Amino acid sequence: MPGFRRSWDALLAALVLLAVALPAAAGDYRELEQEVREFTLPNGMHFLVVRRPEVPVFSFNVYVDAGSVNEVQGITGLAHIIEHMAFKGTTEIGTSDAKAERRAMVAEDAAFAALQAERRRAAAADSVRLAALEEAFARAKEAARQFVVSNEFAQVVENNGGVGLNASTSSDATNYYYSFPSNRLELWAYLESNRLAAPVFREFYTEKDGPVTEERRMAVDNNPIGMLVEQLSGMAFSAHPYGHPLVGYMSDLNSITRTQGDDFYRAHYVGNNMACAIVGDVDYDEVKRVADKYFTRIPGPAPTPEVDTVEPKQLGEKRIVIEHTAQPLVLMSYHKGSATDPDDAVYEAIADVLGQGRTSRLYQGLVKDRKIAVQAGGFSGFPGSKYPNLMLIYAVPANEVEPEEIETALVAEIERLAADGMTADELAGVKRRARANFIRSLRGNMGLARQLTHYQMITGDWRNLFKQLDEIEAVTLDDVQRVAGALFAATNRTVAMIRTRDQGAEQAAAR
């Protein structure tokens, strides 16, 4: 039996890879647009279906319009915690006794509330009482964990041929996805609707105090690059929640409660705040049948909290220099429009020529020609694209090159593009690469599912996915110079750098 299990897993994985290798469409990519069918459930959840019968598998992506941008002070990192919770199962999967577990979790919440109340007294806290409350909370956590059947949800998916079970949280959204054999469509609908409609938030405190906070340490606290990115984001966005770190602030992670998680979930995980794309060997009518049967249990339609804060116009350059023992690094950002900005394609063209790949101006100028950097580049749409965001530029200085020299070189390349624009050959290259990348992105079932839901939720219509080549094709040299001139104004710039601290000199001075 174990041998059959391994063979089945290998077969499914091979089928998924085969689906990835399929052509984007039978003919021109525009034909693919005609193959997308859609429907919306009464709760507002939107479904997109593309039939690709070549191999007996399908891939899906559920896009939830809730990311770190939807958090407020005090609950930063919560969207990411909730993503972790989705793998803990449901009231039917992942527990040995749902009712007893629920009672244990209520006691666990009460123990954490008592502990937090004493912690908030800070210096006035009673150390003896604090120790007792910490011990009581540890016992309550362990009591709740007695009912947990670890990884049962993942095991059900894998035992039925599912591959690639995963999720991701970004500034704009949370995505859930994997691939399944075609004959497991109804099981998929049952599993996904259950975990979306009635989450349990099992092991909430264990997960956030363990794997989630460890991600924070690895990504930011013990990672100079992550630390500098966090500092730059916080400076560039003084008002808009794009300035929040995706992984949250450690103090928030330490204090967030399951009740706050439940409140956030109920506010954002409603039907009209979700889109699901299913691509592969599936029948539209059957997809609609199982969606009607299972996904209507998700609440909605309902109003969702909106991000109304608009980042004020930046009035002058912002900068921070951090002394650190790490390798020097220079980051530079410029405010730009959102994904729905009329000049979005122009921003993408500028980012391509300036900083993407080894043929880009920054790589050629700083790395290949002058050899003052070991890496240099840039991209558009940081940290998200739903709202006005940043074009981010970066460079890693070569050995014994000061970060200030790199900053001067970056600014020179940027100002040259702003003053002179790009050449006709460069713009033609942008359009060739855009077409190749676009066609490539449509070949895999999962890639297409992710793209369709992204455009549906970010732009309001999945059809905009198929308009992007027309938009990039329409970009002119005059557009580039017009947009670059405004984008790269010095007053629109935020600079963050690590200057390497001489640890040896410090130690010698201390002696």
Predicted confidence pLDDT, tens digits, the chain (511 residues) = 334 344 434 444 544 454 545 444 434 678 899 999 999 999 999 999 999 999 999 999 999 999 999 999 999 999 999 999 999 999 999 999 999 999 999 999 999 999 999 999 999 999 999 999 999 999 999 999 999 999 999 999 999 999 999 999 999 999 999 999 999 999 999 999 999 998 899 999 999 999 999 999 999 999 999 999 999 999 999 999 999 999 999 999 999 999 999 999 999 999 999 999 999 999 999 999 999 999 999 999 999 999 999 999 999 999 999 999 999 999 999 999 999 999 999 999 999 999 999 999 999 999 999 999 999 999 999 999 999 999 999 999 999 999 999 999 999 999 999 999 999 999 999 999 999 999 888 889 999 999 999 999 999 999 999 999 999 999 999 999 999 999 999 999 999 999 998 765 555 444 5
Residue 511 has a pLDDT of 52
Q: How far apart are alpha carbons 65 and 169 in whole angstroms?
A: 10
| 439 contacts 24 by C-beta, under 8 angstroms | yes
Residue 503 has a pLDDT of 60
- Tell me how crowded residue 447 is: count the other CB atoms within 10 A of its CB: 17
Q: How far apart are alpha carbons 339 and 351 in whole angstroms?
A: 14
Please tell me whether residue 359 adopts helix, strand or coil conformation. coil
- In terms of C-beta density within 10 A (0-12 exposed, 13-18 middle, 19 or more buried), how is residue 470 classed? exposed
Q: How far apart are alpha carbons 360 and 426 in whole angstroms?
A: 9
pTM: 0.92
- Tell me how crowded residue 260 is: count the other CB atoms within 10 A of its CB: 16
- CA distances 234 to 228, 229, 319, 381, 386, Å, are 10, 9, 11, 16, 18
- In terms of C-beta density within 10 A (0-12 exposed, 13-18 middle, 19 or more buried), how is residue 353 classed? buried
Can you list the positions of beta strands (E) in 139-273? 163-169, 174-181
- Which of 405, 419, 337 lies closest to 371 in space, CA to CA? 405
First to last CA, the chain: 67
Collect all residues with Cβ–Cβ distance below 8 Å to 16 and sequence separation of at least 6. Answer: 57, 59, 163, 164, 179, 445, 446
Q: How far apart are alpha carbons 120 and 505 in whole angstroms?
A: 41
- In terms of C-beta density within 10 A (0-12 exposed, 13-18 middle, 19 or more buried), how is residue 461 classed? exposed
Residue 184: alpha-carbon gap to chain centroid? 28
Q: How far apart are alpha carbons 49 and 286 in whole angstroms?
A: 11
Q: How far apart are alpha carbons 112 and 94 in whole angstroms?
A: 23
b/e per residue, 67-92, with b = 16+ CB within 10 A?
A: bbbbbeeebbbbbbbbbbbbbbbbee
